[in-house]
Amino acid sequence: MEKDRLAHLVQKSVEGKISDEEHVEMMALMDDPEYEAVVKQLLMDAFEQPKPLDDIAAGVRSQILEAVFQSDKTPEIRKPFIQAQQIRWAMGLVAVIALMAFGLFFFKYQSKYAVPHVQELVGDVAPGNYGATLTLTNGRKIRLTKASNGELAKEAGILVSKSADGKLVYAIEGNVTDDNAQHTFSTAKGETYEVRLPDGSSVHLNAVSSLTYKPALIEDGKRVVKLSGEAYFEVAKDRKHPFIVKTERQQVEVLGTHFNLSSYPDDATEKTTLLEGSIKVTASGSSILLKPGQQSRLSKGELSISEPDTDLAIAWKNNEFVFESETIDNVMKMVERWYNVEVIYVGEKTNERFSGAVSRFENVSRVLQIIESTRASHFKIQGRKIYVSK
C-alpha cells in the first residue's frame, strides 16, 4: 500500500539510508493531500518514540530541514496569517519531519495548529561562499576568488598555484632559499577555503580564520603552522617531521591524522576533535593524548576530554550548521561569522538552549526561522544587522 510505502520511506530518510530516487518518491507522496492522515499518524508516532539527534545520519539533517521549508519559497516571513487548511498541512509536515529528525529539540508543540511567532524580516542576507586571501612575505595580498587558475607566486624555491578545482596548492620546486619567508592564508567573515601544503596535507579553513606558516612548512625539523579561528586538518604521514599546530593557548602535535581545531579568540573554550589517528594536545604545562572520537576542551587553562558526536565538530566543513544544546550566544556567533553580519541583543538574552541543523548555503532567514520556531528568541533583520530579543 502507498501509505505503508510512505512510512517506510520516511523511516529510511531519517536513518540516512534513502536513495535519491526514493527521496523524490517520498516527497511526491507527502505532497499528496490524500496522505495527510498518514502524516499526522507519523507525527503521533514521533511523539511516542522521539528520536535523539545523535541517531540521525549527519548528511540527512540539513536535507530534512531543507525539505521542511520547501513549502515556503519566499525567504522572508511577512504574513503571519494564512488559510487554516494550509496551516494544518504545513505544520503537520514540519512537525513530522522535524520531530522525527530532532526529537523534541526544535518544535515545541503547544497546540495542534499553532503558528510560531516570527518577527518581520526586513531584507535578507545571502550565505557566505568560497574565498580567501594569501599574504606573501613581501606583504603582497592575493585574493584567491579573483585569481586565475595556475601559478600565483614563486618564492624561496616554492611554487604557489591555484588548481582547477579552486584549491590553493604549494609545491617545492628546488632548494628552499629563505628561512625567514612566511605566508598567511586567511578568510574573512562569510568565507571558507582549502589549501594543500607542500607535504601533501590539506587544511580546510572556516570563516574568520587564518593559518600562518613558512612556504616550505619545515621549521626546526618539524612541520609547523599557527592557527587562529577554526580549521579541519588532513595531515599527510611523515614520521620524521611531526606536524605541529600552534594556537594562542595550546599546541597540537600529530604524525598523520584527521582532526578539527576550533580556536576563535572570542570563544571561551578551545576544542580539538580527533577523527583518525592520534594527537597530543599540550596547554598550560600539561599534555593529553586523544583517540579517534575524542575531543579535548581547553577552558580557563584546564584541559579535559569528552566523546561528543564528531559530526557536530566537522559539520561546517560539510556545509552544514549543526548545533546541539548550544546557547543563543554560540549559535549567533556561527551566524555572525558565516553571514558577515552584526548581531545586536535587545534586552535580556534567553537562557534557552538550541539544537538543530540547516545547510550553510541557505539565506540567514532560514536559520532564524528555525530558532524562532522554539518561541525562545525573535529576530529583526535590518541591512547587515540582526536584532535579537526574547
pLDDT at 60: 47
Calculate mean pLDDT across residues 241-251.
Answer: 97
pLDDT at 186: 98
pLDDT at 160: 96
For residue 195, is pLDDT > 50? yes
Indicate yes or no: pTM above 0.75.
no
Q: What percent of the chain has pLDDT over 70?
A: 73
Calculate mean pLDDT across residues 331-338.
Answer: 96
For residue 241, is pLDDT > 60? yes
Calculate mean pLDDT across residues 140-164.
Answer: 93
pLDDT at 122: 54
Give all domains of the chain, ordered by start, each with its CATH number.
2-102 (no CATH), 129-313 (2.60.120.1440), 318-389 (3.55.50.30)
Alpha-carbon span 344 to 325, nearest angstrom: 21
pLDDT at 155: 84
pLDDT higher at 70 or 7: 7
Nearest CA among 295, 229, 305 for reference residue 267: 229
Element (H, E) at 263: strand 258-263
The C-alpha angle with vertex 85 and arms to 79 and 91, in degrees rounded to 5, equals 70
Could you tell me the pLDDT band of residue 41, with boundaries at 50, 70 and 90? low
Please, what is the average pLDDT of the chain? 80
3-state secondary structure 321-390: EEEEEECHHHHHHHHHHHHCCEEEECCCCCCCCEEEEEECCCCHHHHHHHHHCCCCCEEEEECCEEEEEC
DSSP category for residue 55: G
Least confident of 95-104, 142-151, 206-215, 249-258: 95-104
pLDDT at 303: 95
For residue 12, is pLDDT > 90? no
272 neighbors 281 (Cβ within 8 angstroms) = yes
**Alpha carbon 80 to its chain's center:** 30
168 neighbors 195 (Cβ within 8 angstroms) = yes
Calculate mean pLDDT across residues 205-221.
Answer: 95
Identify any residues that bridge with 223 across adjacent strands, giving them in sequence order.
218, 243
Calculate mean pLDDT across residues 126-145.
Answer: 95
DSSP category for residue 347: S
pLDDT at 45: 57
365 neighbors 339 (Cβ within 8 angstroms) = no
Nearest CA among 57, 53, 91 for reference residue 71: 91
Identify any residues that bridge with 161 across adjacent strands, giving them in sequence order.
151, 169
Could you tell me the pLDDT band of residue 1, with boundaries at 50, 70 and 90? low
For residue 297, is pLDDT > 90? yes
Exposure b/e, 340-367, CB count within 10 A at least 16 = b: bbebebeeeebeebbbbbbbbebbbbbb
Give the list of residues 6+ apart from residue 107 with CB closer than 8 angstroms, or none.
94, 95, 98, 99, 373, 374
For residue 190, is pLDDT > 50? yes
Alpha-carbon span 11 to 30, nearest angstrom: 13
